[in-house]
Structure 1
Amino acid sequence: MGDKLFPVLGGNPDWMSRLPEELHDVPLWNLALPGSHDTMSFCLDISSPVLRSESFLLRLTDLLLPCCTRPCIYRWATTQQSILADQGDLGIRFFDLRIAKNPASSSNLFFAHGIYTLLTVKEALKELAMWLEAHPKEIVIISCSHFDTMTNEDHVHLVEFIHILFNLKLCSSKNVPTLRSCWSKGQQVIISYDNEAMLLEHPELWRAIPYWYADTPNPKKVIGYLETQKLKGRPAGFYVSGLNLTEDATYVALHPCQTMRKMTMDALPLLLRWTEDQQPGPEPDRINIVCCDFVNYSVTLFSMHSTTWELEQLLGLCCMKLPCKSEAAMPVTA
């Protein structure tokens, strides 16, 4: 599919604006969009308590032996290492935001993956809003989900903040978003919000986007699961194919010195080869959003600007390639 590799950071911030005109009227759910799984896990707070939604046994262990539980959770829950702006520069256009209320904070909302983040939701969304100002023809999908221990009042305040922050940049769920339609209206943000009450009150919010994930640490099983799902047919709108691996207690116990990063890096060649065979589009076996862990270690190749490539290679398809030599030489540590 070509031999041009973009650098790890800063290499692909405006790829949507450079897509060929044939794609400007294609619904965004028929393009291939790169995403980051558990987007905000790069800033987990190792000193924070375990989420209230975790099992009683884990919370009890955390209460008695936090010096053991929290470093372990931190190693396995950290799935990204790049801030939002850098992820945007990489070409990421789907952000998986898992929101929670930290009992240690009376008003601020945070993100969470086993433990809470250092950055608040408002801080992160403001950073993304600033990035969008600098890239006016790029369109992002923000998936808000989980909402651990959040009250209805918390939801109301969060949606109000989103409205004020993004304002006219929001793309309504009543529309069929294409590059041309979004550009003509200055719209850059699609908000997926996994809360039925908020959806009923705010028609501009989009329903939760289906996320296909295999829930296994085995990359071959991940690929097998995704292929099985494709045989059933893709959803009509946006949907995610998750290349992320998932550890369980048994796997962690059998690999005491391993981390999520090392597990992902070991599996990366196989997982990324799978993307090379995928195509976007409305057909039942086509992909849309592809999410990955540690996106900064996957040099992203976007087929968007070479007139010599075949048309099907121009259909918004992203392929996560192997790290180039300078990154491949980097040590894999906790």
Structure 2
Amino acid sequence: MYFISTSSPDEYSTKVDRMIGENMDLTRDLEFWMSKLPACLRALPIIYLSIPGSHNSFTSNISGGSIVSLDSPKILQNLEWIYCIRHIMANWTKNQNVAVKEQLKAGIRYFDLRVSAKSRENNLYFCHGMYSCKVEPVLNEISTFLETHSKEVVILDFQHFYGFTQQTHGKLMQMLLKTYGTKLLPYSDHMDHLSLDYMTSQFSYQVITVYRSDAARFGQPLFWPSASFPTPWANTIDHNALFNFLDDKIKDRKDNVGFITQIVLTPTLTDILFNSCTTLEQKLAIDFEDLRTGWISKQTPGRRGVNIVIGDFIDLSDNLFTKTVINLNLKLLRDLPKRMTSPIN
């Protein structure tokens, strides 16, 4: 256990109040928010920080002209020649408005990824019902960002793979190794020593790659398994059911690994059919924004608290989602005696 060296409770309270007063807003520079965290927060394990992420991260360029991807039901793949079907699908499979560079500048540090092969083509694509952008250029953009943001860390979570063979997995893993090299944080079965300072000051680690496939389990020490970042999914459109589910799962989270809170609404096919003239953003996301922000604001990072929080359309209301998640870290300053790894000077 770590603590602040003080001679009295009043002195401790004064030091904490001063720190909070000096850092009332941790989002004044979203592009460098990790770099500019107070030193005591950069010394905390990242599994106890509050980190914003995007759900189905790279779907911003899905449109009615996109091709139906392999993760869609076979019947939709067969009917993709009907424009109205593609148009409806695009309206409900696009989860973000902004691409990787804008998300990074807006403070997003976790990316939720679905990857698909494509028939008669050598490239890999991000997808969500429809093919989105190519994988390799996006990975390169992230690498370029990290080169000029040496104190920032990203988490790449490869959740799903479609049309993959062992050879395809090998190709993607080699692409990741080539793109990030020594920036990749090696796997560890416990994470309570992995702070931002440990990663970026003691070493040059800036990328945690979660690879949720057994294809990466042997001979790939730089890829992290699913158990390192549990990501329970409520699969509901009901606000109260979602919040109750998230509350229950947070209470049960383990202390020595990361944790992903998916504050997302998931429509059924029936929901989409009954609302085919609108979009996921218009029907669900915009009306949900205030409720989402309110629930997040009540959370606390740390043990049995939130860690990574992901959402749809992270740019709404001038990046309010991202700002709310990041500023939860201010609550940790009140709990420094239990969580600090360096004293306040």
- From 288, 302, 308, the equivalent of 2:307 is 288
Match of 1:181 in 2: 198
Q: What is the deviation of 1:70?
A: 0.7
Contact preservation (8 Å) 1:213, 1:222: no
**Any idea what SS the aligned residue of 1:44 has?**
coil
Runs of 4+ with >4 A deviation:
1-7
> Is 1:123 matched up with 2:141?
no
Q: What is the deviation of 1:230?
A: 2.5
* Further displaced range: 197-206 or 51-60: 51-60
Report the CA distance shift for 1:179/1:80 in structure 2 as closer, same or farther (over 3 A).
same
Q: What is the deviation of 1:89?
A: 1.0
- From 115, 118, 123, the equivalent of 1:102 is 118
**Any idea what SS the aligned residue of 1:212 has?**
coil
* Further displaced range: 120-129 or 227-236: 227-236
- From 49, 66, 71, the equivalent of 2:87 is 71
1:25-61, CA deviations, whole angstroms, 9 ceiling, x for partnerless residues?
Answer: 3211111110000000112253343223432333333
Contact preservation (8 Å) 1:278, 1:287: yes
Match of 2:278 in 1: 258
> Is 1:303 matched up with 2:317?
no
1:218-243, CA deviations, whole angstroms, 9 ceiling, x for partnerless residues?
Answer: 22221121112223334631121011
> Is 1:51 matched up with 2:81?
no
1:86-145, CA deviations, whole angstroms, 9 ceiling, x for partnerless residues?
Answer: 11111111011111111152x10000000101x211010001111111111000100112
Match of 2:293 in 1: 272
What does 1:313-328 align with in structure 2 at a 5 Å threshold?
A: none
Contact preservation (8 Å) 1:139, 1:189: yes
Which segments of 5 or more consecutive residues in structure 1 lack a partner in the other structure? 316-334
> Is 1:88 matched up with 2:109?
no
Q: What is the deviation of 1:271?
A: 1.2
- From 226, 229, 233, the equivalent of 2:246 is 226
Amino acid at match of 2:311: C
Match of 1:319 in 2: none
Which segments of 5 or more consecutive residues in structure 2 lack a partner in the other structure? 1-19, 338-345
- The separation in 2 between residues aligned to 1:123 and 1:201, in whole angstroms, is 26
> Is 1:18 matched up with 2:36?
yes
Q: What is the deviation of 1:4?
A: 5.4
Contact preservation (8 Å) 2:158, 2:210: yes
Q: CA RMSD in A?
A: 2.5
Match of 2:157 in 1: 143
**Any idea what SS the aligned residue of 1:52 has?**
coil
Match of 1:249 in 2: 269
Match of 1:322 in 2: none
Amino acid at match of 2:251: L
- State the structure with more CA Rg: 2
**Any idea what SS the aligned residue of 1:127 has?**
helix
Report the CA distance shift for 1:5/1:180 in structure 2 as closer, same or farther (over 3 A).
closer
Residues paired across the two proteins, number: 304
- From 220, 224, 233, the equivalent of 1:202 is 220
Amino acid at match of 1:260: L
Report the CA distance shift for 1:238/1:164 in structure 2 as closer, same or farther (over 3 A).
same
- The separation in 1 between residues aligned to 2:153 and 2:57, in whole angstroms, is 17
Amino acid at match of 1:278: Q
**Any idea what SS the aligned residue of 2:217 has?**
helix
- The separation in 2 between residues aligned to 1:66 and 1:104, in whole angstroms, is 22
- The separation in 2 between residues aligned to 1:52 and 1:206, in whole angstroms, is 25
* Further displaced range: 201-210 or 34-43: 201-210
Contact preservation (8 Å) 1:85, 1:128: yes
